[in-house]
Structure 1
Amino acid sequence: MGRDEEPLIPSSARPHVLLLCSPCMGHLIPFAELARQLVADHGLSATLLFAAATDLPSEEYAALAASVPNSIDFVVLPAPPADVLPSFDSMRERVMHAVSWSIPRVWDVARSLAASTAPLAALVVDMVGVPARDVAKELGVPCYMFFTSPWMLLSLFLHLPELDAKLTKEYRDATEPIRLPGCVPIHVHELPGSMLADRSSSTYVGFLSMAKEAARVDGILVNTFCDLEPAVGEGMDCMKLPVHAVGPLVWARPIGVQEDHSRTVRWLDHRPRGSVVYVSFGSGGTLTWQQTTELALALEMTQHPFVWAIKRPDNDTVSGAFFGTQQGEDDDPFGFLPRGFIERTKGVGLLLQSWAPQTAILSHASVGCFMTHCGWNSTLESILNGVPMVAWPLYAEQKMNAAMLEVQAKVAVRVSIGPGGFASKEEIASVIRHVMDEEEGARMRKFVGEVRDRAAHAVSKDGSSAHALAQVTNVWRSFASEK
């Protein structure tokens, strides 16, 4: 693990925050950064619990865990035994099961902390972990939800019980978009998959139950900043719960093998400024075999240098790597690529198996655009580095994110997906050229540069997000001082 400097106040004397993260890499990254800031910037102690869904750690999880500073007490909770795993209709149900299985252990850790010399100040959970609120209630501390997606999804989430009560048919049959305060219209094809399932299905019923549970927390932290979604934030004023924008919280510490990091940076050093296309669909996203081939041919067509964090295709699901990949899984890691592709693009393309030093790549001057699934962590990292995006959303709320980034923030262009969810090589190459080569690209870089500056200000000492987190931590301290 990495090491931070020892805090001036011994951790045993600091109010303690317990954080519970579900088995989602997209949640764990901002949770780790939130915990780091609570310790380093706000004088608190933090224990971060990760509710594992698998016994063996994935390559992605192991890399992140190794970079968590020692000032944070990082605990992996045991995964549910394989012999008690029921069948699941959705990835979300498997995540919820892992969290439910972990709650008795959360009780144990919370009681242990409450009995120690460091008073427990708060419990922080993600949207899946809200049932653990009863732990906080028994111990007399507030329970806050840390929402690791944008305000737009939170607005949909909090309005879902009201939308459901008014609906007489399935969401997928709607002819009009959903209109929420301050949000771009949400069209049917942009809704999370859980809302497109039958409303009688366990997938939808579970999602609706999560939305109703969210009303039980004492407050919500959101990994966004006011200037990115200002109108949505203003629409939050009507909510009964206090909602605080505390982002962008991104993990800036090096993750992964240092050798891979250095090799990638050296490769980028030899490419012209703004010339490289970076392609990554996050820790969980996967394409089909046919779509992977089409993307490879599109990259070759553009003749731009590229870095591609590539995963083995999955014909069954767009989230085939959601719970991570195991090292040494592939004997021939690139055997699925078109015949001759690697030879033809030698010196032009850099292929990285599964894991990439994304922060180092996006911050490099040679990178001109980021082809992304629009996961929220990747989106924030791209914005913070002033890199315009080619948006190719795959699952969860990513299609909503892509719509907001293109229509409202104007920092992305979406790939047009045709029948059967397929994008042709001509379409992919056209969008890349649009961002990289044309006048529109210069306009996008101007927009994303302005958003980057506002994001940096939000988390600066006098910024809105820094001020909001300071206010919340003061509230938590007051609970701890009363114990």
Structure 2
Amino acid sequence: MEAKTHIALVSVPVYSHQRSILEFSKQLVHLHKGIHVTCINPTFSSPCCNTLALFHSLPPTIDYMFLPPINLEDLPHDTHPAVHVQFTISQSLPLIHDALKTLHSTSNLVAIISDGLITQVLPFGKELNVLSYTYFPSTAMLLSLCLYSSMLDKKISCEYKDLLDPIEIPGCIPIPGTDLPDPLHYDRSGEVYKQFLEANERFYLADGILVNTFYEMEANTIRALQQQEGRGIPSVFAIGPFVQKGSCTEGSTNEAEYLRWLDKQEQNSVLYVSFGSGGTIFQDQLNEIACGLELSGQKFLWVLRPPNKFGIIVDIGAETENPLKFLPNGFLHRTKGHGMVVPYWASQVQILGHGAIGGFLCHCGWNSTLEGVVHGIPLIAWPLFAEQKMNAVLLTNGLKVALRPKVNEKGIVEREEIAKVIKNLMVGEEGKGIRQGMENLKVAADNALKEDGSSTRTLTQLALKWTSLGVA
């Protein structure tokens, strides 16, 4: 029997965003059996094995389609991955529009939910006379910045990085100018900054914004946003945390090895080091991290990728060269038995759920951050790009569940600083407070997703609204 209520999701060609919106969709159809979901995915190349594994793991009530790849040959060879994504989004809009029209004509489509990076889809809902939402896979704090960005643009005259005082947004902790998201570090007269403002203005077209956070984690920010509903700001729904529940990798050959190694370690004794699904670092910083890990004397499990000037790898499934060759001479020999380096990829969910893990050196991507939270693992905040510095501010200054190493005048965290922060987190007094704070946050995250929890109640109210439209 065909489901009465059909929801269309529109994702973007970014693995971390796809993971997040698919976990949301799985929770939605799990809680509400009458809802059927179709996920539309723009592409600029054939999906890699990790991406395919995500989609192959979906239940039968979630369909998906990959749109024809966009030709990137007209872009310069050495183009930043973010440009690939934005170009793919803009070129895919006619294909997305056609796919949505087809779904609308062949099913009882009641709502379109598009990723926060593709706000261009929001007007399509109005055209098809269905509800149109944004799925926002980051913090309510970042959403607030986006919604208030035009106001800040009028209020602030200098470049954001030159601000002497932190930016204050209703309900949020103060944000230093240097910790604002990447688009605000560009020349304010340039195209990147202009596109950022235009995308944020389109949020106001949404019937609502679904945020992958939970009320207890960002209560002041969510409350401040909700108090502005009816005064121009769309309805905001905190419905998370949505994190991957199990490994979606296909046949990782080294998985058993690192899990066996963890089995031999003492409880809470290992620092896990990873920069997310695609993050990486430059060579000088890689050297300092290696030396800092060695100097700290703490056990570690490090997922390592080759250095990259962009700080991100486009194709997370590509393994073009051995990353171990970039380590300092003798590092693997000197740390043998004390640490382990895993090339390219590891099952983060399994690692964070292992009792031996006592800390997480994290790039502050929101998926990784939430995975740390739901497993109660205290963090070392090491932001790389996008909104990650802003997330680090929330984790350290706001929630106080992370330590953040100091960067020198050359933009490098030195080995002595790394060793000091690692020891502080793993065996120091300050680390005990961080650990307790994270444990409290873990309990709150668990409670939010219970049957009567804040996030489940919110998502249920939305689903009931959608299913009532499906019956009508």
TM bucket (normalised to shorter chain) is over 0.9
Give yes or no for the alignment of 1:479 onto 2:469: yes
Partner Cα separation in structure 1 for residue 273 and residue 199 of structure 2: 33
* Count of residues in correspondence between the two structures: 466
Match of 2:422 in 1: 432
Structure 2 partner of 1:295: 289
Asked whether the 8 Å contact 1:67–1:254 carries over to 2, the reply is: no
Question: Mind listing any 5+ residue stretches in structure 2 that lack a counterpart?
Answer: none
Q: How far did residue 87 of structure 1 move?
A: 8.4
Give distance in 1, aligned partners of 2:368 and 2:198: 28
- In 1: Cα distance, 2:164 partner to 2:80 partner: 26
Deviation at 1:258, TM superposition (A): 5.3
- Residue 138 of structure 1, aligned match among 100, 112, 127: 127
Correspondence 1:233 to 2:222: yes
Whether 1:125 and 2:119 are equivalent positions in the alignment is no
Q: 2:43 aligns with which of 52, 62, 87?
A: 52
Displaced runs of 4 or more, over 4 A:
86-91
Alignment match, 1:380: 370
Displacement after TM superposition at 1:65 (Å): 3.5
2:248 to 245, 255, 263: 255
Contact residue 224 and residue 245 of structure 1 kept, 8 A = yes
* Match of residue 217, structure 1, among 191, 203, 206: 206
Following superposition, the deviation at residue 405 of structure 1 comes to: 0.6
| Deviations 1:430-469 (CA, angstroms, capped at 9, x unpaired) | 1000000112222111111111001111011000101111
Deviation at 1:168, TM superposition (A): 2.2
Partner of 1:202: 191
CA shift, 1:407, in A, is: 1.2
Percent identity, aligned pairs only, is 36
Deviation for aligned residue 1:70: 4.1
Indicate conservation of the 8 Å contact 2:12/2:118, yes or no: yes
Give, in whole Å, the separation in 1 of the partners of 2:80 and 2:438. 35
Q: CA deviation at 1:385?
A: 0.4
The one-character-per-residue Cα deviations of 1:372-392 (angstroms, maximum 9, x if unpaired) are: 000001010001001000111
Q: Which residue of structure 2 aligns with residue 95 of structure 1?
A: 85
Partner of 1:445: 435
Pairing of 1:309-320 with structure 2 (within 5 A): 309-314=303-308, 316-318=309-311, 320=312
Structure 1 residues 441 and 168, CA, compared in 2 at 3 Å: closer, same or farther?
A: closer
Supply the AA of the counterpart residue of 1:263. E
Q: Name the SS of the counterpart of 1:287 in structure 2.
A: coil
2:72, 2:88 → 1: CA distance? 11
* Separation in 2, partners of 1:481, 1:70: 21
> Is the Cα contact below 8 Å between 2:246 and 2:350 reproduced in 1?
no
Mapped contact 1:182–1:235 kept (Cα < 8 A): yes
Distance 1:337 1:440, change over 3 A: same
Corresponding residue of 2:331:
341
CA distance in 2, matches of 1:59, 1:348: 32
Q: 2:239 aligns with which of 237, 246, 249?
A: 246
1:343 and 1:112 map into 2 onto residues whose CA distance is 59
Q: Aligned AA for 1:48?
A: C
Residue 397 of structure 1: aligned partner: 387
Q: Which amino acid is 2:248 matched to?
A: I
Whether 1:462 and 2:452 are equivalent positions in the alignment is yes
Give the drift of 1:139: 1.9
Alpha-carbon distance in structure 2 between the residues aligned to 1:70 and 1:407: 43
| Native 8 Å contact 1:90 1:203 kept in 2 | no
| Alpha-carbon distance between aligned partners in 2 of 1:120 and 1:81, rounded to the nearest angstrom | 30
CA distance in 2, matches of 1:309, 1:276: 13
SS in 1 for 2:39: strand
C-alpha contact (below 8 Å) 2:7/2:112 kept by paired residues: yes
Q: 1:317 to 1:258 in 2, by over 3 A?
A: closer
Residue matched to 1:6: none
> Aligned residue for 1:149?
138
Residue 23 of structure 1 aligns with an amino acid whose one-letter code is P
Letter in 2 for 1:384: V
**Does 2:358 align with 1:368?**
yes
SS at match of 2:127: helix
- Paired residue for 2:174? 185
Q: Secondary structure at the match of 1:49?
A: strand
Q: Aligned match of 1:160 in 138, 149, 153?
A: 149
State the 1:96 CA deviation. Answer: 2.2
The Cα of 1:260 is off from its aligned counterpart by 3.7
Q: How far off is 1:119 after superposition?
A: 0.6
The 1:60–1:427 alpha-carbon spacing in structure 2 relative to 1, beyond 3 Å, is farther
Q: Which residue of 2 aligns with 1:4?
A: none
Pairwise CA distance, 1:480: 2.7
Aligned partners of 1:347 and 1:90: how far apart in 2? Answer: 38
Distance 1:479 1:85, change over 3 A: farther
Confirm or deny that 1:308 pairs with 2:264. no
SS in 2 for 1:175: coil
List per-residue Cα deviations over 1:291-330 (Å, max 9, x = no partner): 101111111112222111111012x222x31x23343411
- The aligned runs of 1:52-91 (5 Å cut-off) are 52-53=43-44, 55-58=45-48, 60-85=50-75, 91=81
For residue 336 of structure 1, report the CA deviation from its aligned partner: 0.8
Following the alignment from structure 2 to structure 1, what is the Cα–Cα distance between the partners of residues 28 and 211? Answer: 15
3-state SS in 2 of match to 1:347:
coil
Matches of 2:102 and 2:447, distance apart in 1: 39
- Alpha carbons of structure 1 residues 328 and 181: separation in structure 2 relative to 1, 3 Å: closer
Instruction: Give the TM-score, by structure 1 length.
Output: 0.92
Equivalent AA in structure 1 for residue 115 of structure 2: D
Change (3 A) 1:329 1:70: farther
Distance across 2 between alignment mates of 1:391 and 1:326: 25
**Counterpart contact for 2:274–2:304, Cα < 8 Å:** yes
The TM-score, its normalising length taken from structure 2, stands at: 0.94
Deviation, structure 1 residue 91? 4.5
Q: Name the amino acid aligned to 2:236.
A: V
CA shift for structure 1 position 190: 0.3
SS of residue in 2 equivalent to 1:335: helix
**2:347 equivalent to 1:354:** no
Relative distance call for 1:328 and 1:182 in structure 2 (3 A) is closer
